Structure formats: structure tokens, C-alpha cells
Structure 1
Amino acid sequence: MNKHTCFILIFLFGGLNILFGQTKVGGLVKSTSGETVPFANVIFENSSEGITTNESGEFYLQSDQDYEAIVVSFIGYKTLRVPLESSVNLDMEIVLEEEAAALDEVVIYRGKTSKKNNPAIDILRKVWENRRKNGVNAFQQYSYKEYEKLQFDLNTLDSSVIRNPVFNGMEFIFDYTDTNRVTGKTYLPVFINESVTRVYGDNEMDKKKEVLLGNKNSGFNENRNLIDAVKDIYDDYDIYKPYIKFFDKSFVNPVSTTGIESYNYILSDSSYIDNKWCYNIIYYPRRENELTFRGNFWVNDTTWAVKKINLETSRDANINWVKQVYIEQEYEVMNDSIFLITRDFFMADFGLNKKKDSKGIYAKRTLLFDDYEFDNEKPESFYQQEVYNPQSYVYDRTDDFWETNRMESLNKDEKGIYVMLDTLTRTRAFKRAYNVATLLESGYFDFDGWDLGPMYSTFGFNEVEGVRVRLGARTYFGQNDPWRIEGYGAYGFRDDKFKYGISGKLMLDYKSRLIIAGGNRRDVEQLGASLTNTTDVLGRSLASSALLNVGDNDKLSSINLSTFSVSVDPVKNLSLRFGINYREINPASEGFSLAYYTDEARTEVDTEINQTELSTILTFTPGRKLSGYGVEPDVVNEEDFPTFFLNYSLGVREIFNSDFDYKKLQFFYNQPLLIGGFGRSNLSMEAGKTFDPVPLALLSVVPGNQTYFAIYNTFPTLDFYEFVTDSYVSAHFDHNFNGRFLSRIPLLRELNLRELVGVSVVWGDLSEESRMLDASGLMLQAPDDDPYYEYSFGIGNIFKVLQIEAYFRGNYFENPDARSFAIIADFGFHF
């Protein structure tokens, strides 16, 4: 199960009120005039455990301790002590009485607070002046122990859920329900994972190493990708940074200097925390629909260090499938310049919509930090990361190990989760639901040891095959399979021909990821849909089978491709592959030609290419995180790391009676960019050169796109084969503003739309020698006078799954049948 499978379970469960814990309170805070009081402070008496009411004046607060009263306060109202009649007090209605002032010498602000003469902002400026360094960055070397508890829960359970046929055979699980301490909703745990890690770092060498000491979970040992995916969502512990990043988005940090333009601040209270007098500051957004938080933080009155903070997103924050995110952090101040984080709690409430009572899933992650050590130097070799180290023993630790290394004991309900979930994963009913979720996410029907699919490529259409039907399958015993066989068969009803593809991979060594692979494919394909070479036997671009096309898609080819390769990872995230492939290429479309001259007099012509190619490919993906160690591991952080690709190919005539000798060099670079509060960008660049004359089928075609759907790194206003090169340089830049501007327009604000812009450019040349070889009859043209460019504007997040972009051609309007405009749609699940 990967990160999306978990979210799909929301659909299946459609989304019990058995309550545990010591003290639970919830309700509504109003004024004497009947208006709700948002952002009021609600705290257990004689404690620092508290929360602020939301935009509607609602609150829920829970503690493992017994308390007799809560204290409710807000600037402009009299502080109210509310006795608690029992350990559970829900649906409370608390009325605050207005008064002239709440604190001595405090100016009262309502609505948007002023930046002048505001004591809260005065305190905030003191925080900026005395900004601390994160302790791990203040020393040459550091190490610490980290305990992590990760949990998934189904939430908002009621009688309709219990009676749902989905749970037939799983009724026993409802004995394990509880209420969430942040939202007050009833939830059912469905997954728990604990781990203990020792983290080492050297700031001088900019090196970091994590050593897993122990891991324990609830029967999902084969699903490390789910665990790793949630870990990757949020990993930012420095409260003084301008932005806090999760779900590929940058939220404005209320404690940083960037926050003053996005938040209102109010000095609310003061109290002792860890025997130090602290001020409590409430903050909330100035505008709706922006990537901001609401909550409060405590600041020490002498060191001006933040001791404790909670951050909660509002329901109108522009994040898909996430109703709420809640973060708590606690710190220890070592001295006047350094702070250390001691506790970090992150919770995301996933749901199909943001209605208060809609059902969904909680993802909760608790991190505790302890046993800090500094300036203990280790050699550089210590930080050398292994390509893979299975460490199987860390998954089989004894109960004594966990009793010693847990920094926070499990409560009685969490201990019961292990028993319940290990039983649940063995029930037929749960396996059925799990398999349906896997099907929706991956597109494969799961059988015992093999999968059928992917179902999303079952039907296609092109002018050669007409309606195309495809059926595929693969072996699949688990995430860490050391070998895999995959194949498909396809049939076109217009050409009445059968096509197929089959491939296999075998891992010979786990630690170096030494893999041999090979396969064969006979199919119809749109060549030139990508500049960078690919020898993926089962790969097929959408350009080859899109149901809708612009103009005539009449330049398809028949290809018989056989490949064999050996790959190895000499170091982590660096892959080296040596391969050989043999291609037979023929035109498949009527009237389309790939012909070339075979003699210097240009009197003899051949229409088929038989070509053997040797390749050496280097791929470097620094920062990439993989889950699993099989032949096909899952990438956890797909949109977070750069990719460098270098390919040197050698065409050899002497092998398998090949037609041409040539040398080709290609480079590709892709870089995702998260630009603070301005959204997310992606930059990619490609360059290549073929050093010897080759015919059309072996040239580098600038990839056009005659479909109505997005195809990566293509030019939507170009037709297929409009530009052909043997030397080229191209670049694509796309930016998503994440609704930064549309969220400020009242009529559009509620739609959570996102602004998209982009520009693409390519320059290329075609040598006279390659032109002289060509006998296809096509007008071979390269963008050699001026670089060809196009630009785009679009709207994303339409109905949460659709984006539409308009592309405009920038030049070369004189080309025959040149298209000056294109509309492209793209579908997908994005946060």
C-alpha cells in the first residue's frame, strides 16, 4: 500500500462512540450578544494544556490528566472559569462577558490587528532579535536518539458505519474505538508503527546518517512504502524558518518575519512553563484561503525563546483531500543562543470533502528527541550511505527493547491496537477492502502471486489500429520481489493484428542493486514522443493511443524491439546501466515513409531500419528516497529531488547485420523547485547530439503533441515530425502558484483554483549529411534560425482533479498547417 492507497480507503469505508481518556471537553464559545468568539483561549486550569477556538468559536480539548475546570479567555472579555461536572463534558456552551480591557496596558484589537502599539508584535520582534539556532546546526557534529510513533485511523464513525456491509466479518474492531484529542471525533485505529533511530550529523562535511535501531508495526511489514510516504510529508523542525513545508506546499510560519503580513497577533495570557514565566500569543490569518495557520505560542519573558507552539490549518486552506493539519512542538532552550526540539506532533485529517461531519482518515506522527550529544567527530567514511542494508534484526526486537527505548509509553488503547490489527489483517473482509483500494490506486487486480492490469490502459485508439484492446499481467509476491516478469497482449480491430510485449528483471545482489533485465516488444508506436532515448520494452506514450487527436495522427511506426541490460548502483542514488538493443522499424501508417538512400548516388532506397545500439547510461538522483529493496522499489518523494541523466549510445553495424554506425550523446536534467509562498515550479533541460549521419527513424524528433492530454516535456502546438534534429537543446519551465492570487478574489475563493504558467523553448540543427540520407518525402526542418518557443496559461485544481492549460505558439507561424493555439487537459490526484 502506498500513500494514495490509504486515501482511497476513505471511499471504501464511506465514511461507536466508546470513550476513553481522563478529561474531555468540547463545545462553543459565544459572547453575551450571541456572536461566536473565534480564536479564544481554552486551557485546563493550572496547566499549559490548551487550544484556541476555530473560526466558528468551536473547540475540543482532551488530556490524560484529571482536571476540575477549564479557563476561557480572550482580549476584550472577562476571563471565565468553567467547572467540569464529569470527566467528559461535550456540547458545552460558554458565554463570555465583554469588558474594557483584559490585561494592564494592553491595547485591544478586533478583526485585523494593527502593527503599531501592539504588545504581541512587540514580543514577536524580541523573538526575531533573539532568534535561536537549531541546536543540531550550531555544533560541528551532533547526534541524538529519535523515537517515532506513526498511526492511521478511520474517523467520524457512527452507527451507519458499523452497519455498513463493508465491515461484515470485522465487527470486533469497533471495540477499539477512541476519540481524537484535537478534533473530538470518534476514530478507529487501522495502522500503527513505532521506530527508534540514532541520528548522526556533521555540519562541516554537510553529512547526515540515520541508523535504525528498532521497528515494530501492526502487521504491515510488507508495506514500508506507506510508512516512508507519511514520514516524507512533513520533516521540518525549525520554528524560525520563514515557511513550514508539507504536502509539497509552503505555509507561512507565524513566528518568522514573513508572518507579520499574513497574521493578526494578540497577547492573550501569561503563565509559568517549566518554571519560566512565558507570554501566550494568539495568532490567526488576515485573509481566507491562504496557506496559513491559526493557534498560539508561548514565549519566555527573558530569553525570548519560543517554548511551545501549536499550528492548525483552517478548513478553507487550499489543500485537496485534507480537512485539517495540526502541529504541536515543544522546545528546550540550552542557552541564550541555542534551542533543541524535544517533541513534535503532526496530524493530518484526510477526507473527500471538508464538511465537518464527513468521514475520513487521520494520519498521526509523534516524534520525541532525546540523548543529544555534540562535537563527537567521526571519519567521513562513517557517513557513507550503503545502497541497501536490510537490517532484518531491527524488525524483531524484544519487548524489553521497546520498554527501554520508548520515550513515551503506549496507553492501554494503543497497546490493544497491535492485537486488533494483527487479527484484522488476517480477515477476508479486510483483505477484500484492501484489494479494492490497491486496484483503484495501482490499476492492477491482485491475485495470489501475480497481478492483472493495468486496467487504465485497456482501451486505446489510433488511425492504424483503430480501437485497441490491451490486457497485461505481472508477477507480484510482495514489494521486495527479487525478480519480476511482466507482459501484455494487444489487438487492433482496424489492422487486425496482434501485438505483444514481455520483459523480465532479476536482482543478483541486493547491496549493490545488481540487476539484469531483458525483453521484446512488437507493437505500433508514435516515435518521436520524447527527446531522451528510452528502451523500456513495455513503455508506450499516450501519443500512440490517445482516444482524441488534433488533425491526422498519420505518422505511426511498427517496431520490433529487443533489449538486454545490466545495471548496478555503485553508491546510493547513482545508477549505471550497460545495455544492448536491437530495433526493426517500419512505417505503419499508410502514406508515411521512413525511407532512406543506401548508396552515394541516391538511387537505391530502403524503407526498413535494422539497428543495433550499445548504450551506457548514468542516472543520478540525489535526495531520492526509496521504499523497499526489490527490483522495482517505490519512490517515496517523487516530486522532491533533482534528476541527472547521461546517455552515450553507439550504433554498431557489425552486430546482427545492423544498418548504421553512429555515436549519440544525450543529457537530461530535471529540478523541482518549491519557491516559498509563491508556489511550486519545475525546470527541465535536455541536450543531445548525433555525431554521424542517420536516417529519419534514428534522428531526434522535437516531440509535438497532437492529443488533448498532457504528455511530459512535449510541445502541444507542434505536430508530430514538424521539427527534426540531430543536435538540440530544449528547456521547459512550469509554475503552479497554488492559488496565491485567485484565493484573494471573493467570488473565486471558495473554488480553490490554482494559477498555472509555463514556457518551453527548443533550438536544434540538422546536418546536411543526414538530410542527404533522407528519402521519406517529408519536409525535414529544424528550429535552427531562432529557437522555437511556446508559452501557456492555465487553471488547475478544477473539481480537485482537473487542470486545463492554453498553449500559444511563439514563432514559426509560416510552417505548413502551423497550429498557433492548443488546449491541453491533465487529470490527477494532487494535494
Structure 2
Amino acid sequence: MLKHCLLFVIIFCFNLLNSQASFSSFKEITRDSVKKETFIKHLGNGYLPSKYFNFDLRYLIKFNQYEGIRTGIGGTTNENFSKKFKVNGYTVYGFRDDEFKFSLGGAFRLAPKTNTWLSLSYTDDLQETGSTKFLTDGRFFHFFEPRLLNIDLFHRHITKSIGIEHQLFDELNTKTEFSVSNINPTYQYSFNTNSTSLNNFRLSVAKMAFQWNPFSEFNLTENGVKETKQGYPKFTLQYSKSIKNVFKSDFNFSKIDFRTIHKIIVNKDSYSELTLVSGLAIGDTPITHLYHAYPNNITKETVMQRFSVAGLNSFETMYFNEFFSDKFTTIQAKHFFKPFNISERLKPQLVLISRFAIGDMESPEQHENISFKTLKKGYTESGFEINKLLFGFGLSFTYRYGGYHLPEFTDNLALKFTFNVTL
């Protein structure tokens, strides 16, 4: 325990010194007529800028049920360092699992006008089982990631990848990647295929993703095509293919993932948001690469024991590891009302929410030493949020009903904090 505390203090002090150095660098930059808004923009994206290197705030400190406290340092070179290539990386330490994780990568700019980059990376880290990431997703940063606090099902992966990103048209961005991964679940799990049980495995996966924003507006800058005005709906499509026996890969399966986001604007303070996400896995697919439908409820006896923080797009009444599917669709509808103008500092906002998920699994018996249900009866929850009551915190109330309604009334309830801060 003593060495853990000592290591935490060392990493924290190192982060603090680097933060102070980056603030000093920022002061030097502002003296050279760089606007303060630039710094705010970097900070809003999760970066603390220095002259040649931007420190990544995502790695400073986090918490989950497997690693406990997770802390470290990371970042990327910026355009002052080079406009033709960049280097990025991070290293973190988990106090509960007593393990270091890290990633190192780089990218080379092939064509500025089309935002064409060739990238390479090596990563040794954890990933949540059942989660899917779209290659074309931009960088997401939140000061506080509520759902992460309760996740306990991770798999360790060592992944080597090469990818290329290309702006095919102003409205259409593409990214292609090939990766080789060694996968080791951190929990008891075996996948049974052809009378053989695999506890850990190797995957060689080719991916191609498309981000199509047909109603957005774009400008051509010296750094390539930039989105200047967001339009809706937006569409994302990704195809993944795991190829057996290529670089000793153990599985042969395909995945198709789709997402669309639409926003109906009433006025600048009131709007509705609709999100549809769908996925399909075909072939022998381990549970690490299937779908969990974004649960965010911990398995505790009472409502108050389950009291935590609501996620942004998660099912608040769905318990972690309760459902897995090889085909699923979720639909989420939110309506944001105009904030109540109680005072200059108190302007809470009411949000009505309804979510639906449906899914199934072809051969659940292949997944051994793990218990779960599918979503074939359809899962429904509805509720509301009152956001920004105090210092960005609010309250969320959600109720579970329909095909997976539970016998005990209180087991269907989720009462949680919300957290919203905008720079």
C-alpha cells in the first residue's frame, strides 16, 4: 500500500509540474498575441497547451471498479512542433490491479487539403467488454465521466495498428485501419468453438468507417476541411472483419455498426435530440466484441445504494453485464426545455428522456463461465433530468417498464446525479 501511495504522489507531482510549465508556456504564447480563446478551446477539448506539446487531461485521474484509481500522463505534439507529423502517447497506473498501461503512436500528413493522415500505434491497455468505438468519432472529452465509475468488466489488449484517414468529400470523412490484438479477459470467460474452449485469443481485424454529415457546412483552411456549422441528421457506418489465420488470428467474424443523430431545434434554448444505434455481428464472435447496449446501473439492493451519476447516452436502469447481444438496436429520444430563469446564477433545465433497446444472440451457449440475458423482448425506460441545479450538478429519475420490468417496484427505479459543465 505504501508503494502505491508513493507512486500516486510522484505521478501527481509530475502532472502538477507539467501543468505549471504548460501554464507558463501559455503566458509566453499570449504575450506573442495568441488570443485567450485559443487556450479556452484547447482546455474544452481536454488539452493543456504548451509551446510544442499539448498535455492530455483525460489521463490525469479516473476511477473504475477494476483498476480503482487510474492516474497517469499523456499528450500529443502540436503544430508548433510540426505540421507534417505528430507523436502522441500516454502511460497510466491502476492502483487496484497494480498494473501500468501505455500507448505510443504517431501520424504523418500525406495531403493537407484532404486531411489525409497515415497513423501507427502500439497500445497495451484495458477496454470495456461489449463496447464499440467508431473510428471516425472525433475526440470526446468530459471533465467527469460518470459511467466509467461503475464499469467492472474489462479485457486487456495489446494492439498494433496502422490506419489512414481521408476526407473523401467535404461531407464525407473516411478512416481505414488494420490491427492485430492479443486479447485477455480479466474475468472468468471461455469461448467454445468447434469443441475448443479459448480463454484468451488473438484477432486480426480490418475496419472501414464513414462519417457523413450532408447538412453541415464546411470551409477549406490551411489545415484542411473544417466543419463550420453542424447540420442534422448525421450518419456513421463502420464495417469490421476479423480474418482467421492471418497473423495467427483465432476468429473469423464480421460486424456492421450504424449510428444516426438528429436534432430538431425549436429555438436556441430548446430542442429535441434523437439517436439511433444499431449493430450486427456475424460468425464466431467472442463476448469482448459483442454489444452490451450501454448499461449504467450497479447491482445493489436499494435505490439509494445504487445512487450514482447518470451517463450521457446510457440506460440508467439497466444493470451492468445484464444483457449481451450479437444484434441490437437502441433508440433514444430527449427533449430539452428552455432553462428556467430563476436567477442570474440559477437556470436549471428540464430534459424528458425515453429509451428503447431490442436485440438477440444466435448461440449464447458458446459463451462459458458468464451469465447474461438478451434483449429479444425489448427494453424500455423513461424519465427526466433537471440539470444545472448547483455547480453543474442536477438530478435524474428513470423508470424501467415493458418486457424486462422487474417484480420489485424499487428495482425498476434509478435516481442519480447529473453533471453538466460547458466552457
Q: Would you call these one fold, judging by a TM-score over 0.5?
A: yes
Alignment of 1:812-823 (within 5 A): 812-814=404-406, 820-823=413-416
Deviation at residue 528 of structure 1 after TM alignment: 2.7
1:595 aligns with 2:186: no
1:682 aligns with 2:284: no
CA contact (8 A) 1:506 1:631 kept: no
Number of positions where the alignment pairs a residue of Structure 1 with one of Structure 2: 386
Distance 1:505 1:754 in 2: 42
**What's the secondary structure of 1:724's corresponding residue?**
coil
Match of 2:259 in 1: 668
1:720 aligns with 2:320: yes
CA contact (8 A) 2:47 2:55 kept: yes
Deviation at residue 429 of structure 1 after TM alignment: 8.4
Deviation at residue 732 of structure 1 after TM alignment: 0.9
**What's the secondary structure of 2:319's corresponding residue?**
coil
Match of 2:153 in 1: 555
Distance 1:699 1:688 in 2: 9
Distance 1:536 1:485 in 2: 19
Match of 1:774 in 2: 367
Match of 1:451 in 2: 54
Deviation per CA, 1:94-145, whole angstroms, max 9, x where unpaired? xxxxxxxxxxxxxxxxxxxxxxxxxxxxxxxxxxxxxxxxxxxxxxxxxxxx
Q: Compared with structure 1, are the counterparts of its residues 577 and 473 closer, same or farther at alpha carbon in structure 2 (3 Å cutoff)?
A: closer
Distance 1:675 1:537 in 2: 26
Distance 1:535 1:569 in 2: 11
Deviation at residue 822 of structure 1 after TM alignment: 3.7
1:568 alignment partner AA: H
Distance 2:346 2:247 in 1: 59
Distance 2:414 2:370 in 1: 23
CA contact (8 A) 2:325 2:361 kept: yes
**What's the secondary structure of 2:288's corresponding residue?**
helix
1:804 aligns with 2:395: yes
CA contact (8 A) 1:690 1:726 kept: yes
CA contact (8 A) 2:131 2:291 kept: no
1:597 alignment partner AA: N
Deviation at residue 609 of structure 1 after TM alignment: 2.6
Match of 2:6 in 1: none
1:579 alignment partner AA: E
Deviation at residue 546 of structure 1 after TM alignment: 6.3
CA contact (8 A) 1:625 1:635 kept: yes
Deviation at residue 671 of structure 1 after TM alignment: 1.1
Greater percentage in strand: 2
Distance 2:30 2:144 in 1: 43
Alignment of 1:528-543 (within 5 A): 528-530=130-132, 533-534=134-135
**What's the secondary structure of 2:365's corresponding residue?**
helix
Deviation per CA, 1:406-435, whole angstroms, max 9, x where unpaired? xxxxxxxxxxxxxxxxxx998738669678
Deviation per CA, 1:531-584, whole angstroms, max 9, x where unpaired? x555989989999996843xxx43222122222222322221212322212222
CA contact (8 A) 2:136 2:173 kept: no
CA contact (8 A) 1:796 1:803 kept: yes
**1:511 counterpart (93, 101, 113):** 113
**What's the secondary structure of 1:511's corresponding residue?**
helix
**What's the secondary structure of 2:215's corresponding residue?**
coil
Alignment of 1:230-269 (within 5 A): none
Alignment of 1:733-812 (within 5 A): 733-739=333-339, 742=340, 751-768=346-363, 771-775=364-368, 777-785=369-377, 787-799=378-390, 801-811=392-402, 812=404
Distance 1:560 1:630 in 2: 36
**What's the secondary structure of 1:623's corresponding residue?**
coil
Deviation per CA, 1:325-361, whole angstroms, max 9, x where unpaired? xxxxxxxxxxxxxxxxxxxxxxxxxxxxxxxxxxxxx
Alignment of 1:354-365 (within 5 A): none
Alignment of 1:684-703 (within 5 A): 684-703=275-294
**1:574 counterpart (172, 175, 195):** 172
Distance 1:680 1:475 in 2: 38
1:583 aligns with 2:158: no
CA contact (8 A) 1:544 1:556 kept: no
1:495 aligns with 2:97: yes
**What's the secondary structure of 1:488's corresponding residue?**
strand
Deviation at residue 799 of structure 1 after TM alignment: 4.3
Distance 1:630 1:778 in 2: 52
Deviation at residue 723 of structure 1 after TM alignment: 1.1
Distance 1:762 1:573 in 2: 29
Q: Compared with structure 1, are the counterparts of its residues 630 and 778 closer, same or farther at alpha carbon in structure 2 (3 Å cutoff)?
A: farther
Deviation at residue 481 of structure 1 after TM alignment: 3.1
Distance 2:295 2:36 in 1: 42
1:642 aligns with 2:233: yes
- Structure index of larger Rg: 1
Distance 1:641 1:706 in 2: 31
Q: Compared with structure 1, are the counterparts of its residues 536 and 596 closer, same or farther at alpha carbon in structure 2 (3 Å cutoff)?
A: farther
Cα-Cα RMSD? 3.7
Distance 1:510 1:630 in 2: 7
Distance 2:29 2:61 in 1: 35
Deviation at residue 504 of structure 1 after TM alignment: 2.1
Deviation at residue 656 of structure 1 after TM alignment: 1.1
1:613 aligns with 2:205: yes
Distance 2:215 2:331 in 1: 23
TM-score by length of 2: 0.79
Distance 2:146 2:175 in 1: 29
**What's the secondary structure of 2:314's corresponding residue?**
coil
Deviation at residue 586 of structure 1 after TM alignment: 1.6
Match of 1:464 in 2: 66
TM-score by length of 1: 0.42
CA contact (8 A) 2:113 2:222 kept: no
CA contact (8 A) 1:725 1:765 kept: yes
2:323 alignment partner AA: F
Alignment of 1:475-490 (within 5 A): 475-478=77-80, 481-490=83-92
Deviation at residue 610 of structure 1 after TM alignment: 1.2
Deviation at residue 512 of structure 1 after TM alignment: 2.8
1:573 alignment partner AA: E
2:272 alignment partner AA: S
**What's the secondary structure of 2:370's corresponding residue?**
coil
CA contact (8 A) 1:717 1:822 kept: no
Match of 1:827 in 2: 420
Deviation per CA, 1:783-821, whole angstroms, max 9, x where unpaired? 102x10111211123247344322222241349995532
Distance 2:401 2:163 in 1: 41
Deviation at residue 620 of structure 1 after TM alignment: 0.4
Distance 2:141 2:38 in 1: 26
CA contact (8 A) 2:104 2:121 kept: yes
**What's the secondary structure of 1:782's corresponding residue?**
coil
Distance 1:508 1:733 in 2: 40
CA contact (8 A) 2:382 2:398 kept: yes
Distance 1:520 1:564 in 2: 9
Q: Compared with structure 1, are the counterparts of its residues 818 and 626 closer, same or farther at alpha carbon in structure 2 (3 Å cutoff)?
A: farther
**What's the secondary structure of 1:725's corresponding residue?**
coil
**2:247 counterpart (656, 660, 669):** 656
Distance 1:498 1:433 in 2: 36
1:705 aligns with 2:290: no
Distance 2:344 2:38 in 1: 38
Deviation at residue 677 of structure 1 after TM alignment: 8.2
2:158 alignment partner AA: N
Distance 1:805 1:501 in 2: 36
Q: Compared with structure 1, are the counterparts of its residues 690 and 540 closer, same or farther at alpha carbon in structure 2 (3 Å cutoff)?
A: farther
CA contact (8 A) 2:74 2:90 kept: yes
1:582 alignment partner AA: V
**What's the secondary structure of 2:239's corresponding residue?**
strand
